[in-house]
């Protein structure tokens, strides 16, 4: 049986600076036998504020606490949509004394405590803009006012990729797109290197750019045909539509004839045609994508082969062999007698 020992911290929460509307996360771990309980407490920065215990769902559900008690205790507290009033001291407490929560009986061992300070600073104002130049370049700009600290540089990111950086202290930064299309569309973020980091967000939006996974698809009669279209532009596609190009554009509804089934998400659509018909299903199909900027479409050609189609090359080879054998046979039958080789040696050997 393992020997009991009092609780001790192996990881303590770290002090942090954050901006209003940001989120903060504090982590704490403790060991002991039995495994200790962990609690979170808060004391505001204002004078004479009392310390209060925090629980999961507190502060209008802005507080989330995730704790595990396996080989040792771990606890993480997360606070979203920070306000200036969230500045203060956050305290992680741990204890494995059986009387630690007794209302009248004092525990033999007091709660151990580890503290972290969270300072919430008013978020600066970042003005963003997109300007199209005479040469059709698109200039993305960010201007900051009320920076929390000195600016030590800037950098730009598209999604999760850094695309530009500098070490100037200007309150203005820009990034130029030489071409606006589906490849350059997306989310761009400008960062001012202050403490904490200040960020502005811009979105470059274009209409969908639809391409077929294969421009021409082939399928065998009675098999399932699959036609796929994709769009990689931003913003995502909000609606996909399929049409059969017969006497104009005939819309295809999901479940039509119990053979046509459509499955779509924000960047891909798939049309499945069950039990392909050699007469009805071949032809051109159009997939159409729509987002908040506009729409685009492309054509996919479907070819349906007879199930016997795969046998034709083999049958052709067999026919060629039969013709060749027949020609050889007839030729041999029609050879002249003098062309027939003589089995005699032309004379008798002397006695």
Residues 92-128: pLDDT tens digits? 999 998 888 776 766 666 899 999 999 999 999 999 9
Over residues 43-55, the mean pLDDT reads 92
Average pLDDT across the chain, whole number: 91
The percent of residues above 70 in pLDDT, for the chain, comes to 91
Residues 28, 131 contacting (CB under 8 angstroms): no
What is the pLDDT at residue 135? 78
pLDDT at 237 over 70: yes
pLDDT at 347 over 90: no
User: Could you tell me the strand order of the sheet in which 5-11 lies?
Assistant: 5-11, 24-33, 73-79, 63-69
Over residues 164-190, the mean pLDDT reads 97
Q: How confident is the model at residue 209 (pLDDT cuts 50, 70, 90)?
A: very high
Residues 223, 310 contacting (CB under 8 angstroms): no
Over residues 50-75, the mean pLDDT reads 96
Over residues 25-48, the mean pLDDT reads 95
Rg over CA atoms, the chain: 39
Going by C-beta distance under 8 Å and a sequence separation of 6 or more, which residues neighbour residue 160? Answer: none
What is the pLDDT at residue 328? 81
Over residues 151-173, the mean pLDDT reads 97
The vertex-267 CA angle with 263 and 271, nearest 5°, equals 30
DSSP one-letter string for 199-263: EEEEEE-----EEES-SEEEEETTS-EEEEEEE--SSPPSEEEEEE-SSS-EEE-TTGGGTEEEE
Residue with tokens 């996919």: 300
Cβ count near 186 (within 10 Å): 18
What is the pLDDT at residue 322? 83
What is the pLDDT at residue 351? 43
CA 143, CA 174: separation in Å to the nearest integer? 9
Q: How confident is the model at residue 133 (pLDDT cuts 50, 70, 90)?
A: confident
Residue 38 DSSP label: E
Q: How confident is the model at residue 196 (pLDDT cuts 50, 70, 90)?
A: very high
Q: How confident is the model at residue 2 (pLDDT cuts 50, 70, 90)?
A: confident
Q: How many residues does the chain have?
A: 351
CA 258, CA 279: separation in Å to the nearest integer? 17
Cβ count near 192 (within 10 Å): 26
pLDDT at 339 over 60: no
What pTM does this model have? Answer: 0.77
Q: How confident is the model at residue 333 (pLDDT cuts 50, 70, 90)?
A: confident
């Amino acid at each position: 049986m393992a020997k009991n020992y009092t609780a001790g911290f192996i990881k303590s929460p770290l002090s942090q600076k954050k901006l209003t509307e940001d989120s903060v996360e504090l982590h704490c771990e403790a060991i002991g036998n039995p495994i200790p309980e962990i609690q979170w407490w808060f004391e505001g920065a204002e004078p004479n504020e009392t310390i209060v215990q925090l629980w999961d769902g507190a502060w209008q559900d802005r507080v989330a606490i995730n704790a595990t008690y396996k080989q040792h205790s771990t606890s993480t507290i997360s606070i979203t949509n920070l306000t200036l009033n969230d500045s203060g001291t956050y305290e992680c407490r741990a204890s494995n004394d059986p009387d630690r929560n007794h209302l009248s009986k004092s525990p033999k061992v007091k709660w151990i405590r580890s503290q972290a300070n969270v300072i919430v600073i008013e978020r600066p104002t970042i003005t963003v803009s997109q300007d199209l130049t005479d040469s059709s370049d698109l200039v993305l700009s960010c201007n900051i006012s009320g920076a929390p600290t000195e600016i030590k540089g800037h950098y730009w990111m598209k999604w999760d990729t850094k695309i530009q950086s500098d070490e100037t202290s200007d309150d203005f930064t820009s990034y130029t797109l030489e071409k606006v299309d589906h490849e350059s569309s997306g989310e761009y973020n400008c960062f001012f290197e202050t403490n904490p980091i200040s960020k502005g967000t811009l979105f470059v939006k274009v209409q969908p750019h639809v391409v077929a996974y294969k421009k021409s698809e082939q399928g065998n009669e009675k098999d399932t045909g699959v036609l796929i279209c994709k769009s990689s532009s931003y913003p995502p596609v909000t609606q996909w539509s399929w049409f059969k190009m017969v006497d104009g554009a005939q819309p295809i509804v999901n479940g039509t004839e119990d053979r046509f089934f459509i499955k779509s998400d924000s960047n891909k659509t798939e049309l499945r045609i069950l039990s392909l018909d050699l007469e009805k299903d071949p032809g051109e199909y159009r997939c159409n994508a729509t987002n908040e900027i506009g729409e685009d479409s492309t054509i996919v050609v479907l070819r349906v082969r007879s199930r016997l189609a795969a046998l034709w090359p083999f049958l052709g080879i067999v026919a060629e062999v039969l013709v060749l054998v027949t020609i050889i046979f007839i030729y041999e039958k029609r050879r002249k007698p003098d062309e027939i080789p003589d089995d005699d040696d032309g004379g008798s050997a002397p006695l």
